[in-house]
Amino acid sequence: MNYRKLGTLTVSSVGLGCMGMSQSYGAPADKKEMRELIAAAVDMGITLFDTAEVYGTPDDPHDNEKLVGAALAPYRDKVVLATKFGIHFDMSLLKQGKSPIVPDARPETIRASVDASLQRLGTDYIDLYYQHRVDPQIPVEEVAGVMGELMQAGKIRHWGISEATEEDIRRAHAVCPLTAVQNRYSMMARAYESLFPVLEERNIGFVAFSPFANGVLTGAYDKNSVFAAGDMRARMPQFSAAAMEENGQLLALLQDIAEERGATCGQIALAWMLCKKPYIVPIPGTRKYSRLAENAGAADIALTSEEVAAIDARLETIPMSAVFGVTVTNITS
Protein backbone atom coordinates (compact mmCIF):
# COMPACT_ATOMS: atom_id res chain seq x y z
CA MET A 1 0.00 0.00 0.00
CA ASN A 2 1.11 3.56 -0.63
CA TYR A 3 -0.16 6.74 0.94
CA ARG A 4 -1.27 10.24 0.04
CA LYS A 5 -2.66 13.35 1.67
CA LEU A 6 -6.16 14.69 2.10
CA GLY A 7 -5.18 18.25 2.89
CA THR A 8 -2.71 17.69 5.76
CA LEU A 9 -4.12 14.26 6.70
CA THR A 10 -2.11 11.23 5.53
CA VAL A 11 -4.19 8.20 4.52
CA SER A 12 -3.83 5.04 2.47
CA SER A 13 -4.36 5.60 -1.24
CA VAL A 14 -7.34 3.25 -1.09
CA GLY A 15 -9.70 3.33 1.89
CA LEU A 16 -12.52 1.04 2.97
CA GLY A 17 -16.15 2.10 2.87
CA CYS A 18 -17.96 0.14 5.56
CA MET A 19 -21.64 0.99 4.97
CA GLY A 20 -22.38 -2.16 2.98
CA MET A 21 -21.38 -4.38 5.87
CA SER A 22 -24.58 -3.35 7.66
CA GLN A 23 -27.07 -2.28 5.01
CA SER A 24 -28.15 -1.79 1.40
CA TYR A 25 -26.68 -4.99 -0.05
CA GLY A 26 -29.06 -7.62 1.26
CA ALA A 27 -29.07 -8.92 4.81
CA PRO A 28 -26.41 -7.48 7.14
CA ALA A 29 -23.12 -9.34 7.00
CA ASP A 30 -21.89 -11.55 9.82
CA LYS A 31 -20.27 -9.26 12.40
CA LYS A 32 -17.42 -11.61 13.27
CA GLU A 33 -16.52 -11.96 9.59
CA MET A 34 -16.63 -8.19 9.11
CA ARG A 35 -14.40 -7.57 12.14
CA GLU A 36 -11.93 -10.03 10.64
CA LEU A 37 -12.19 -8.32 7.26
CA ILE A 38 -11.48 -4.90 8.80
CA ALA A 39 -8.47 -6.37 10.64
CA ALA A 40 -7.25 -7.81 7.33
CA ALA A 41 -7.59 -4.37 5.76
CA VAL A 42 -5.33 -2.93 8.46
CA ASP A 43 -2.81 -5.70 7.77
CA MET A 44 -2.86 -4.73 4.08
CA GLY A 45 -1.93 -1.17 4.99
CA ILE A 46 -5.36 0.40 4.61
CA THR A 47 -5.73 3.23 7.11
CA LEU A 48 -8.89 5.12 6.06
CA PHE A 49 -12.18 3.61 7.27
CA ASP A 50 -15.50 5.27 6.48
CA THR A 51 -18.79 4.97 8.33
CA ALA A 52 -21.70 7.23 9.40
CA GLU A 53 -24.13 7.60 12.25
CA VAL A 54 -27.05 6.57 9.99
CA TYR A 55 -25.52 3.36 8.61
CA GLY A 56 -27.25 0.48 10.32
CA THR A 57 -29.55 -2.51 10.33
CA PRO A 58 -33.32 -2.77 10.81
CA ASP A 59 -32.64 -3.73 14.42
CA ASP A 60 -30.03 -1.07 15.11
CA PRO A 61 -29.92 2.09 12.95
CA HIS A 62 -26.43 2.90 14.27
CA ASP A 63 -24.97 -0.59 13.92
CA ASN A 64 -22.15 0.29 11.54
CA GLU A 65 -20.37 2.73 13.84
CA LYS A 66 -20.42 0.13 16.61
CA LEU A 67 -19.08 -2.56 14.28
CA VAL A 68 -16.31 -0.39 12.86
CA GLY A 69 -15.33 1.07 16.22
CA ALA A 70 -15.02 -2.35 17.85
CA ALA A 71 -13.05 -3.78 14.93
CA LEU A 72 -10.60 -0.88 14.90
CA ALA A 73 -10.13 -0.60 18.66
CA PRO A 74 -6.86 -2.62 18.66
CA TYR A 75 -5.45 -0.36 15.92
CA ARG A 76 -6.91 3.00 16.92
CA ASP A 77 -3.65 4.97 16.78
CA LYS A 78 -2.76 3.50 13.38
CA VAL A 79 -5.93 4.34 11.46
CA VAL A 80 -8.00 7.29 10.27
CA LEU A 81 -11.58 6.89 11.42
CA ALA A 82 -14.13 8.88 9.41
CA THR A 83 -17.81 9.22 10.22
CA LYS A 84 -20.65 11.59 9.34
CA PHE A 85 -23.43 13.69 10.84
CA GLY A 86 -26.29 15.77 9.59
CA ILE A 87 -29.05 13.59 8.15
CA HIS A 88 -31.84 11.28 9.18
CA PHE A 89 -34.31 9.24 7.17
CA ASP A 90 -38.04 9.77 6.75
CA MET A 91 -39.24 6.83 4.66
CA SER A 92 -42.75 8.30 4.37
CA LEU A 93 -41.32 10.79 1.88
CA LEU A 94 -40.86 7.97 -0.62
CA LYS A 95 -44.64 7.78 -0.98
CA GLN A 96 -44.53 11.41 -2.13
CA GLY A 97 -41.85 10.66 -4.68
CA LYS A 98 -39.23 12.48 -2.62
CA SER A 99 -35.85 11.49 -1.24
CA PRO A 100 -36.09 10.02 2.28
CA ILE A 101 -32.91 11.87 3.28
CA VAL A 102 -33.66 14.77 5.62
CA PRO A 103 -30.72 17.11 6.35
CA ASP A 104 -30.37 18.48 9.88
CA ALA A 105 -27.27 20.53 10.67
CA ARG A 106 -28.56 22.56 13.58
CA PRO A 107 -25.68 23.20 16.01
CA GLU A 108 -27.46 21.39 18.83
CA THR A 109 -27.99 18.38 16.57
CA ILE A 110 -24.32 18.32 15.60
CA ARG A 111 -23.16 18.47 19.22
CA ALA A 112 -25.46 15.61 20.19
CA SER A 113 -24.38 13.61 17.13
CA VAL A 114 -20.65 13.85 17.77
CA ASP A 115 -21.01 12.74 21.38
CA ALA A 116 -23.19 9.79 20.36
CA SER A 117 -20.76 8.79 17.59
CA LEU A 118 -17.79 8.96 19.95
CA GLN A 119 -19.60 6.63 22.34
CA ARG A 120 -20.60 4.13 19.63
CA LEU A 121 -17.14 4.17 18.07
CA GLY A 122 -15.51 3.65 21.47
CA THR A 123 -13.03 6.48 20.96
CA ASP A 124 -12.39 9.94 22.37
CA TYR A 125 -11.73 11.61 19.00
CA ILE A 126 -12.85 11.33 15.38
CA ASP A 127 -10.14 11.80 12.78
CA LEU A 128 -12.39 13.05 9.97
CA TYR A 129 -15.96 14.26 10.60
CA TYR A 130 -18.13 14.88 7.54
CA GLN A 131 -21.32 16.82 7.14
CA HIS A 132 -23.25 14.06 5.35
CA ARG A 133 -25.38 16.41 3.26
CA VAL A 134 -25.58 20.19 3.14
CA ASP A 135 -28.62 21.50 5.02
CA PRO A 136 -30.31 24.27 3.00
CA GLN A 137 -31.76 25.67 6.24
CA ILE A 138 -28.42 26.11 8.01
CA PRO A 139 -25.61 28.22 6.49
CA VAL A 140 -22.45 26.19 5.94
CA GLU A 141 -20.56 28.95 7.75
CA GLU A 142 -22.51 28.13 10.90
CA VAL A 143 -21.68 24.44 10.54
CA ALA A 144 -18.02 25.29 9.97
CA GLY A 145 -18.03 27.35 13.16
CA VAL A 146 -19.28 24.36 15.14
CA MET A 147 -16.56 22.22 13.55
CA GLY A 148 -13.95 24.68 14.80
CA GLU A 149 -15.39 24.40 18.30
CA LEU A 150 -15.27 20.60 18.16
CA MET A 151 -11.65 20.72 17.04
CA GLN A 152 -10.74 23.00 19.93
CA ALA A 153 -12.50 20.58 22.29
CA GLY A 154 -10.45 17.70 20.89
CA LYS A 155 -13.50 15.75 19.74
CA ILE A 156 -12.59 15.88 16.04
CA ARG A 157 -9.29 16.48 14.24
CA HIS A 158 -10.43 17.24 10.69
CA TRP A 159 -13.71 17.89 8.94
CA GLY A 160 -15.23 17.56 5.51
CA ILE A 161 -18.45 17.80 3.50
CA SER A 162 -20.18 15.16 1.38
CA GLU A 163 -22.11 15.92 -1.82
CA ALA A 164 -21.00 19.54 -1.76
CA THR A 165 -20.89 22.20 -4.48
CA GLU A 166 -18.09 24.68 -5.15
CA GLU A 167 -19.99 27.44 -3.36
CA ASP A 168 -20.50 25.22 -0.31
CA ILE A 169 -16.81 24.40 -0.25
CA ARG A 170 -15.58 27.97 -0.55
CA ARG A 171 -17.94 29.32 2.10
CA ALA A 172 -17.24 26.54 4.60
CA HIS A 173 -13.49 26.55 4.06
CA ALA A 174 -13.29 30.29 4.70
CA VAL A 175 -14.55 29.74 8.27
CA CYS A 176 -12.84 26.46 9.18
CA PRO A 177 -10.51 24.82 6.63
CA LEU A 178 -11.83 21.62 5.10
CA THR A 179 -9.67 18.53 4.87
CA ALA A 180 -11.79 16.57 2.39
CA VAL A 181 -14.86 16.58 0.19
CA GLN A 182 -16.57 13.21 -0.25
CA ASN A 183 -18.69 12.89 -3.39
CA ARG A 184 -19.91 10.17 -5.72
CA TYR A 185 -17.24 9.66 -8.38
CA SER A 186 -16.47 6.98 -10.95
CA MET A 187 -15.92 6.52 -14.67
CA MET A 188 -19.71 6.72 -14.96
CA ALA A 189 -20.13 9.75 -12.69
CA ARG A 190 -17.56 12.42 -13.52
CA ALA A 191 -19.42 15.70 -13.13
CA TYR A 192 -17.69 16.52 -9.84
CA GLU A 193 -14.40 16.89 -11.73
CA SER A 194 -15.55 20.50 -11.99
CA LEU A 195 -14.55 20.83 -8.32
CA PHE A 196 -10.92 19.87 -8.88
CA PRO A 197 -9.67 23.46 -9.41
CA VAL A 198 -11.07 24.72 -6.09
CA LEU A 199 -9.81 21.62 -4.27
CA GLU A 200 -6.31 22.23 -5.62
CA GLU A 201 -6.54 25.93 -4.84
CA ARG A 202 -7.51 25.25 -1.21
CA ASN A 203 -5.49 22.05 -0.67
CA ILE A 204 -8.57 19.93 -0.01
CA GLY A 205 -8.66 16.19 -0.68
CA PHE A 206 -11.34 14.34 -2.64
CA VAL A 207 -12.75 11.08 -1.29
CA ALA A 208 -14.62 9.10 -3.93
CA PHE A 209 -17.54 6.96 -2.83
CA SER A 210 -19.16 4.43 -5.18
CA PRO A 211 -15.98 4.32 -7.33
CA PHE A 212 -17.32 1.22 -9.11
CA ALA A 213 -20.77 2.74 -9.76
CA ASN A 214 -22.06 0.31 -7.11
CA GLY A 215 -20.27 -2.61 -8.74
CA VAL A 216 -20.93 -2.21 -12.47
CA LEU A 217 -17.31 -1.30 -13.20
CA THR A 218 -15.94 -4.49 -11.63
CA GLY A 219 -17.29 -6.42 -14.60
CA ALA A 220 -18.83 -8.94 -12.21
CA TYR A 221 -22.43 -8.34 -13.34
CA ASP A 222 -24.38 -8.67 -16.56
CA LYS A 223 -27.95 -8.32 -17.82
CA ASN A 224 -28.90 -11.61 -16.18
CA SER A 225 -27.65 -10.72 -12.70
CA VAL A 226 -30.19 -11.15 -9.90
CA PHE A 227 -29.86 -9.48 -6.51
CA ALA A 228 -30.97 -10.72 -3.12
CA ALA A 229 -33.91 -9.26 -1.23
CA GLY A 230 -32.92 -5.96 0.32
CA ASP A 231 -30.11 -5.33 -2.17
CA MET A 232 -30.60 -1.78 -3.43
CA ARG A 233 -28.87 -2.57 -6.71
CA ALA A 234 -32.07 -4.28 -7.88
CA ARG A 235 -33.59 -0.78 -8.14
CA MET A 236 -30.57 1.03 -9.59
CA PRO A 237 -30.81 2.13 -13.23
CA GLN A 238 -27.30 1.00 -14.16
CA PHE A 239 -28.16 -2.64 -13.42
CA SER A 240 -31.22 -2.99 -15.65
CA ALA A 241 -30.86 -5.36 -18.59
CA ALA A 242 -31.05 -2.45 -21.02
CA ALA A 243 -28.43 -0.49 -19.09
CA MET A 244 -26.01 -3.40 -19.02
CA GLU A 245 -26.32 -3.62 -22.78
CA GLU A 246 -25.73 0.13 -23.05
CA ASN A 247 -22.62 -0.12 -20.86
CA GLY A 248 -21.09 -2.88 -22.96
CA GLN A 249 -18.47 -0.68 -24.64
CA LEU A 250 -17.35 0.74 -21.32
CA LEU A 251 -16.91 -2.70 -19.80
CA ALA A 252 -15.07 -3.86 -22.92
CA LEU A 253 -12.68 -0.90 -22.59
CA LEU A 254 -11.99 -1.80 -18.97
CA GLN A 255 -11.46 -5.44 -19.83
CA ASP A 256 -9.00 -4.59 -22.62
CA ILE A 257 -6.91 -2.36 -20.36
CA ALA A 258 -7.08 -4.87 -17.53
CA GLU A 259 -5.77 -7.65 -19.75
CA GLU A 260 -2.92 -5.44 -20.96
CA ARG A 261 -1.90 -4.61 -17.39
CA GLY A 262 -2.48 -8.02 -15.83
CA ALA A 263 -5.13 -6.49 -13.61
CA THR A 264 -8.88 -6.64 -13.07
CA CYS A 265 -11.56 -4.26 -14.34
CA GLY A 266 -12.11 -2.97 -10.84
CA GLN A 267 -8.42 -2.28 -10.33
CA ILE A 268 -8.28 -0.26 -13.54
CA ALA A 269 -11.37 1.73 -12.48
CA LEU A 270 -9.56 2.64 -9.25
CA ALA A 271 -6.13 3.19 -10.80
CA TRP A 272 -7.68 5.60 -13.31
CA MET A 273 -8.78 7.99 -10.56
CA LEU A 274 -5.74 7.40 -8.36
CA CYS A 275 -3.46 8.37 -11.23
CA LYS A 276 -5.63 11.29 -12.32
CA LYS A 277 -5.03 13.39 -9.18
CA PRO A 278 -2.75 12.82 -6.17
CA TYR A 279 -5.44 13.92 -3.72
CA ILE A 280 -8.17 11.47 -4.81
CA VAL A 281 -8.82 8.57 -2.42
CA PRO A 282 -11.47 6.00 -3.38
CA ILE A 283 -13.30 4.14 -0.61
CA PRO A 284 -14.77 1.03 -2.25
CA GLY A 285 -16.79 -1.20 0.02
CA THR A 286 -16.78 -4.98 0.14
CA ARG A 287 -17.67 -7.96 2.31
CA LYS A 288 -15.14 -10.29 0.67
CA TYR A 289 -11.45 -10.74 1.42
CA SER A 290 -10.64 -11.39 -2.25
CA ARG A 291 -12.21 -8.08 -3.30
CA LEU A 292 -10.50 -6.26 -0.44
CA ALA A 293 -7.08 -7.52 -1.58
CA GLU A 294 -7.93 -6.71 -5.18
CA ASN A 295 -8.94 -3.15 -4.31
CA ALA A 296 -5.82 -2.59 -2.22
CA GLY A 297 -3.70 -3.83 -5.10
CA ALA A 298 -5.02 -1.08 -7.35
CA ALA A 299 -2.76 1.37 -5.51
CA ASP A 300 0.25 -0.32 -7.11
CA ILE A 301 -0.95 0.14 -10.70
CA ALA A 302 0.68 3.15 -12.33
CA LEU A 303 -1.04 4.71 -15.33
CA THR A 304 0.75 7.55 -17.10
CA SER A 305 -0.92 10.91 -17.57
CA GLU A 306 -1.16 10.07 -21.26
CA GLU A 307 -2.94 6.80 -20.48
CA VAL A 308 -5.39 8.55 -18.15
CA ALA A 309 -6.06 11.21 -20.80
CA ALA A 310 -6.65 8.51 -23.42
CA ILE A 311 -9.16 6.79 -21.13
CA ASP A 312 -10.89 10.12 -20.51
CA ALA A 313 -11.16 10.71 -24.23
CA ARG A 314 -12.81 7.33 -24.70
CA LEU A 315 -15.18 7.96 -21.80
CA GLU A 316 -16.39 11.12 -23.52
CA THR A 317 -17.59 9.14 -26.55
CA ILE A 318 -18.71 5.80 -25.08
CA PRO A 319 -22.45 5.42 -24.41
CA MET A 320 -23.33 4.95 -20.74
CA SER A 321 -26.53 4.36 -18.83
CA ALA A 322 -27.92 6.53 -16.08
CA VAL A 323 -26.33 5.95 -12.67
CA PHE A 324 -27.99 5.86 -9.28
CA GLY A 325 -27.48 9.05 -7.28
CA VAL A 326 -26.41 11.24 -10.17
CA THR A 327 -28.66 14.18 -11.05
CA VAL A 328 -28.08 17.61 -12.48
CA THR A 329 -29.27 19.35 -9.32
CA ASN A 330 -26.98 17.60 -6.88
CA ILE A 331 -23.99 18.67 -8.94
CA THR A 332 -24.80 22.21 -9.93
CA SER A 333 -27.02 23.56 -7.17
Q: How far apart are CA 114 and CA 65, in angstroms?
A: 12
Question: Among 149, 146, 147, 154, which residue's Cα sits nearest to residue 124?
Answer: 154
Q: At what angle do helices 305-317 and 265-276 cross, to 10 degrees?
A: 110
Please report which helix (H) or strand (E) contains residue 274, including its range.
Answer: helix 265-276
Residues 6 or more apart from 197 whose CB is under 8 A from it?
A: none
Q: What does the H/E/C string look like for 288-326?
A: CHHHHHHHHHHHHCCCCHHHHHHHHHHHHHCCCCCCCCC
Residues recognised as catalytic: 55
Q: How many CB atoms lie within 10 A of CB 100?
A: 14
Provide the phi-psi class of 288: left if phi over 0, else alpha when psi is between -120 and 50, else beta: beta
Whether residue 83 contacts residue 118, with contact meaning beta carbons closer than 8 Å, is answered with no
Q: What share of the chain is helix, strand, coil (3-state, %, to 5)?
A: 50, 15, 35
Question: Among 62, 67, 58, 71, which residue's Cα sits nearest to residue 21?
Answer: 67
